Structure 1
Amino acid sequence: VYAFGLPQFMIKDPDIIRNICVKDFDHFVNHIDAFFKHDRLFGKSLFALKDKKWRDMRTIMTPVFTGSKLRGLVQLLSECGEQINLHYAQKYKDQDDKVLKIDIMDISTRFTNDVIASAVFGIKVNSLTDPENEFYLAGNEIIKFPAWRFIMIMMLPSLSKLTKMGFASKHIYDFFIKLVEDTIRIRTERNIIRYDIIHLLLEARKEQIKAIETKRASNENVDVLSKNLLTDEDITAQAFIFFLAGYSNVAILMSFAAYELAVHPDVQVKLQKEIESLIKENGKLDYDVIKKMKYLDMVVSETLRKWPPLPAIDRECNKAYKIETNNDIIEVKPGMIISIPVLGLHYDPKYFPNPNKFDPERFNDENKAKMNPYTYMPFGIGPRICIANRFVILETKLFLINLLLKFDILPTEKTPIPLVLAGGNVLKPKDDFSLGLKLRN
C-alpha cells in the first residue's frame, strides 16, 4: 500500500509484529520520518525523536510514569473530577427534566484540559466555570488543525521546514513556552515543590546535573552528558505532547467509554456496584483502591479494543531486514514503512469473537491469560509504546469513577445507536456525543 507517496508494508501477523516491534526492534526504531519533524515543539517530543535522541529522552521520561509517581497524581485528578460532579449536579437541579442532556465529548474535553493543566503544567483551571480560559482556548485552536496543512507538511516537508509550519500558530507555541519557563523560574526562586509532570522532569534534569558534576570532579569527559542535558524547551516539548494527546485523544476515549456504559446499562450497574463497594470497604479513593477495581479495568480495556486511540501504528525501517513468510521472503529496505492495522486486529474474529459486541468479560483474568499480546495494542507495542499509557488509563478511570458515583449515564433520543463514525485518522463520531445524566440518590 502507499500513503502520501510512501510505500508501506501492512503487517497483521502477530508473530511478525512481535519480531518487528520487539525482537528485532533495532531495525525499526523510529516512526515515519516526515511526521512534523520540523515542528518547533512536536519535533522535540518523545514521539517524534529518532535513534539515540529518542533513546536518551525515553530513559529520562520512563521514571515519570512509574506506579509510585502516578500514585501522587491521583489527588490532582480527583479534584478535577469533583469539579465536574459539582457543576453538573447543580445544572441538573436547575432544570426541570429528569435527565440532563449533555455532550459527553464537551465534558471529557474540559476534564482532560483541567487534568493536563494541573497534573502536567501545575496550574489550576476550571473549564466548566471559566469556559474561555486561555488553556482551553489554546487546545481548541490546536484540534482545529486544517487538513490542508497536514497534507502540505506530509507531502512537502522541505516547504514546512522553510515556513516553520507546525501544529499550531506561533502565539500558541509562545504561550506554552512562556508558561513552562515562568513555572520553572518561579519554582526555582521560591523553592516550590508541586508533584506534577513538570516537577518530575525538573528532578530528572537535577539528576543529569549531578551526574555531570560527579564526572567533572573525577576529571572525566562530560561533553556527551552536557549535550543531552534537558533544556527548558525540551521540557516544554514533552509537556506539549501530553497536552496535545490528552486534549483530544484521551477525551475521545472517555466519551466512548461513557457511551458504551449508556447503551449497556447492565455493565454500568455492575461497575457502579464495584466502585461503591471498594470505596466503602477501604474508606477512601486512592491509587491502590483503583488498582483493585478489576471490572473497571475490564471496561476500559474493552473500550480501548473497540475504540483504540491509534487505529494504526507505523515503524520506519532503519536497517535492511527480511520478513520470512510461509511462501516468500520480503526484503524491507531502509526508509520503507511498516504499517500495523491496530483496528483491524482488534476487530478480527479470529482473535476477538463477535468483535462488534462490547464485552468486558474478554478481559477477565482467564480470557486475558489466553490473549495474544500482539493482537491487542491500543497504545502501540514494544519500546515505542505510548509512555503515558498508564497515566491515560488512570485518568480515564478517575473520570468514570467520579461520573458514576454521582450520575447514571443514559442514552437520549439524540444518541446515535449504533455510532456513525467521522472520517479521518482518529476514531470519533460523525455527530455530537449526545448522552444524558440522571442524578443518583
Structure 2
Amino acid sequence: VIRYTMDILQFQWLMTCSLLVFYVLFSLLVLLLGLYYYGNSTFTHFSRQDVLHYKSLPFLGNMGLLLMKNRSYSDYVLEVYNNIKEKPYGCLYSFQQPIIVIKDPTLIQNITTKNFHCFSDRRQVFIEGPLWKTGLPHLKGSKWTQVRAEMDKCFDLDKMKILFSTMLECCQQFSHSFEKYQQSCEEIPYVCPDDAVINVELKSLFTRFANDFIAKTIFGVKVDSLKNPRNDFFVMGRELVNFENVSSYKWLGYTTAPKFMKDFGVNLVPNKVTNYFKSLLEETISRRTSSDISNSDLLQLFIEAKEKHENNAATKVSEEDIIANALIFYFAGFDTTSTLLCLVSYEMARHPDLQSRLAEEIDNASKKNEGTFTYEIVKNLKYLEMVVCETLRLHPPVASTDRTCVARHYHLYGDPEIELRTGDSILIPIYGLHHDPKYFPNPQQFDPERFSEANRHKIHPYTYMPFGAGPRSCLGVHFALMGVKLMLINLFSKYSFHMVSKTPSPLKITHTGFNITAKGGFWLGLKERKAPS
C-alpha cells in the first residue's frame, strides 16, 4: 500500500512538474510572439499602401547593419537608393519609425521647395539642453522662420565682402604657420623622406585650419593650432565634434532614435564643452557691447542683428540664439571644411593634369592682379569652382538629408500614390542621387567638366545638392566654400600635391557621425613649386 501510494504521489509530482514546464514554455512562447508582433507592429505602416520596403528585423528595423558597423552610412544610403530601383520612393525603418525615401527629383523639389510649408521641419537631433534647443536645426515653425531670416542677412553678398578680409587673413596666417612649424608640430603626422617631398597626413593638418578659421571668423578668437597645437579652443572643439568609439553610438542614437536618447538622458556633447564655449561667447559679447568694440566676423554681425531688433518681439534675436547657432556653425563646419580640403587635394594628386590646370588658373589670376585676391576675383575662378563642385558630388559632406511632414494630410503622387500625415519622416538620399549614372554618367569618375559653363545646364535639377535644398538647406554654405577656396589658392600657389606610398588607393571613406576620414589617413606628398614667372 505504501509503495502504491508513493507511486501515485510520484506520478502526481511528475504531472505537476510537466504542467508547470508546459505553462512556463507556453507563457514564454506567448511573450515571444507578443514581442515579435509588437516589434513588427509598425512595419506595415506603408506596406499596406503597396510601398516598396525593406525586410526589417523586430525593433531594429533596418538599423542592424549600421549598428554592427558593417558599412559606412554613405554605402548604406547608396544600397537603399539602388534597391528602390525605378520606383519614385520606398520605405525603410529606423528602429520602429517608418521613413519614406524619396529618389524622384520632382518629388524632392516639391517637398524641399514648392510645398515647403508642408515639410518645414526636420527630425530633431540636438535635444539635450536649453542651449541647443535654440539652434536652427532644432527650431520649428515661426521661430525657425524668424531666426533663419535674421541669420540669412548675415550671409548676404555685402556681409560676405566685409568678412572676406578676415577669411583671407586666416588662410594666409595658416599657410605661413605651416611653412614655419610643419616639422615641429608633433600633433601632425609628418615624414620627410628627402628634401623635395613632404609627406603629410592632411586630415590632421586641415582640422587645425578649420578650427582656426572658425575661431577667427565666427567667434572672433585668434588661435594658431600649429604653433600651439594644444590650445583650449582646439581641444574643446575636437571634443565637441568627436564621434569616435562610444560617441559614435550616441550619434547614431540621436539620428535614428532621438526620443529614446532623450528619455534615457544620454548627452551627445559633454557639459564641460558646452559650458566652455558658452562662457567664451558670453564674455566676448559682453566685452564688445560694453566698449563698442567692432570686429569683422560673424559674431559681430549676430550682435548687430540682436541690437537692431532689441525692441521688436517678432524679430528679436536673443543672446541664447547667437550662442547656440555659433556652436552649430562650429559643429557643422569643422569637419566639412577639413574633409573637403583633404578630398580636393587627393583628387588633384590623383589627376596631375587637372592639378596643373588649376594651378595655372590660380597663377594667372595672381599675376594679373599683382598677387592680390579679392572676393570678385575668387568668385571668377571658374575651374576652381568646377573642381570643388565635382569633389562635392563625388564625396558629398552628408549622405542624406531629411524633412518631417507638418501637414495633416499630404498626397505623395507616384506609383503608388500614398498619404503622408503629420510627423511622417522623409529621407532624401543625396549620396545615391550623386552616384546615379542616370544623372551623372560614369559616377565614380572624377570629372570637373560636368560643372563647366557648357555642361552645367545638363545637370537635372534636384539631383545635385551637397548641402541640401530649399529654405532648410545649409545656411553658411557660401561662407564655408569661400574659406575653402581661399585655402586652396594659398596651397596650390605654393605646392604641388602628389600620391605617395602611404596614400590609400583606392580611397576608403569612413563616416562616424559628423566625422569623415579615410581609412589609413589622408596621406599626400607636398612639393614646393617654383614661383610663376
TM-score by length of 1: 0.92
2:338 counterpart of 1:251: yes
The higher radius of gyration belongs to 2
Letter in 1 for 2:219: F
Aligned counterparts of 1:4 and 1:64: Cα–Cα separation in 2: 39
Which of 202, 207, 211 lines up with 1:109 in the alignment?
A: 207
What's 1:28 paired with? 119
What's 2:271 paired with? 170
- The number of residue pairs the alignment matches comes to 424
Aligned counterparts of 2:95 and 2:130: Cα–Cα separation in 1: 22
3-state SS in 2 of match to 1:379: coil
Which of 431, 436, 441 lines up with 1:348 in the alignment?
A: 436
Letter in 1 for 2:366: I
3-state SS in 1 of match to 2:493: helix
Aligned counterparts of 1:43 and 1:126: Cα–Cα separation in 2: 31
Cα deviation for residue 241 of structure 1 reads 0.7
What's 2:286 paired with? 185
Q: Structure 1 vs Structure 2: percent identity of aligned residues? A: 38
What's 1:428 paired with? 517
3-state SS in 2 of match to 1:438: strand
Aligned counterparts of 1:287 and 1:382: Cα–Cα separation in 2: 25
Aligned counterparts of 2:262 and 2:110: Cα–Cα separation in 1: 34
What's 2:98 paired with? 7
Give the stretch that moved more between structures: 126-135 or 188-197.
Answer: 188-197
Cα deviation for residue 344 of structure 1 reads 0.5
What's 2:529 paired with? 440
Structure 1: gaps (5+ residues): 213-223
Cα deviation for residue 439 of structure 1 reads 1.0
2:180 counterpart of 1:80: no
Aligned counterparts of 2:157 and 2:258: Cα–Cα separation in 1: 42
Residues 81, 398 of structure 1: 8 Å contact kept:
yes
Aligned counterparts of 2:497 and 2:181: Cα–Cα separation in 1: 15
Aligned counterparts of 2:263 and 2:293: Cα–Cα separation in 1: 38
Which of 133, 157, 160 lines up with 1:67 in the alignment?
A: 157
Aligned counterparts of 2:258 and 2:103: Cα–Cα separation in 1: 30
2:495 counterpart of 1:393: no
Aligned counterparts of 2:486 and 2:258: Cα–Cα separation in 1: 42
Residues 72, 195 of structure 1: 8 Å contact kept:
yes
Query: 1:389 and 1:378, CA in 2 relative to 1: closer, same or farther beyond 3 A?
Result: same
Which has the higher relative contact order, 1 or 2, with Cα contacts under 8 A spaced 6 or more apart?
1
What's 1:229 paired with? 316
Which of 206, 218, 225 lines up with 1:120 in the alignment?
A: 218
Aligned counterparts of 2:257 and 2:438: Cα–Cα separation in 1: 37
What's 1:323 paired with? 412
Cα deviation for residue 162 of structure 1 reads 6.8
Cα deviation for residue 254 of structure 1 reads 1.4
Cα deviation for residue 176 of structure 1 reads 0.8
Which of 27, 33, 46 lines up with 2:136 in the alignment?
A: 46
Aligned counterparts of 1:56 and 1:334: Cα–Cα separation in 2: 22
Residues 180, 232 of structure 1: 8 Å contact kept:
no
Letter in 2 for 1:248: D
Structure 2: gaps (5+ residues): 1-91, 185-191
What's 1:270 paired with? 357
2:138 counterpart of 1:37: no
Encode CA deviations 1:309-359: one digit per residue, 9 max, x unaligned.
Answer: 11101001111211111x321111211111111011001111111111111
Which of 262, 273, 282 lines up with 1:160 in the alignment?
A: 262
Cα deviation for residue 91 of structure 1 reads 5.6
What's 1:216 paired with? none
Which of 292, 310, 315 lines up with 2:380 in the alignment?
A: 292
Encode CA deviations 1:16-53: one digit per residue, 9 max, x unaligned.
Answer: 111111111111111113x2233443332112211111
What's 1:204 paired with? 305
Query: 1:198 and 1:92, CA in 2 relative to 1: closer, same or farther beyond 3 A?
Result: closer
Aligned counterparts of 1:341 and 1:190: Cα–Cα separation in 2: 48
What's 1:239 paired with? 326
Cα deviation for residue 425 of structure 1 reads 5.1
Encode CA deviations 1:266-313: one digit per residue, 9 max, x unaligned.
Answer: 111101111111122123111011011010000110011011111101
3-state SS in 2 of match to 1:339: strand
Encode CA deviations 1:205-263: one digit per residue, 9 max, x unaligned.
Answer: 12212x63xxxxxxxxxxx43xx522222101111011111211221111111111111
Give the stretch that moved more between structures: 118-127 or 417-426.
Answer: 417-426
Residues 12, 340 of structure 1: 8 Å contact kept:
yes
Residues 302, 363 of structure 1: 8 Å contact kept:
yes
Cα deviation for residue 440 of structure 1 reads 1.1
TM-score by length of 2: 0.76
Cα deviation for residue 424 of structure 1 reads 4.2
Residues 152, 160 of structure 1: 8 Å contact kept:
no
Aligned counterparts of 1:87 and 1:340: Cα–Cα separation in 2: 41
Encode CA deviations 1:77-131: one digit per residue, 9 max, x unaligned.
Answer: 2222223322333467996431111111111111110111000011110011010
Letter in 2 for 1:437: L
3-state SS in 1 of match to 2:517: coil
3-state SS in 2 of match to 1:101: strand
Letter in 1 for 2:448: P
Aligned counterparts of 2:183 and 2:316: Cα–Cα separation in 1: 53
Letter in 2 for 1:244: F
Aligned counterparts of 2:337 and 2:347: Cα–Cα separation in 1: 15
Residues 76, 115 of structure 1: 8 Å contact kept:
no
Aligned counterparts of 2:106 and 2:513: Cα–Cα separation in 1: 26
What's 2:368 paired with? 281
What's 2:32 paired with? none
What's 2:458 paired with? 370
CA RMSD of aligned residues (A): 1.9
Query: 1:17 and 1:155, CA in 2 relative to 1: closer, same or farther beyond 3 A?
Result: closer
Which of 339, 363, 366 lines up with 2:427 in the alignment?
A: 339
Residues 106, 462 of structure 2: 8 Å contact kept:
yes
Residues 38, 161 of structure 1: 8 Å contact kept:
no
Residues 94, 257 of structure 2: 8 Å contact kept:
no
Residues 112, 471 of structure 2: 8 Å contact kept:
yes
Letter in 2 for 1:366: A
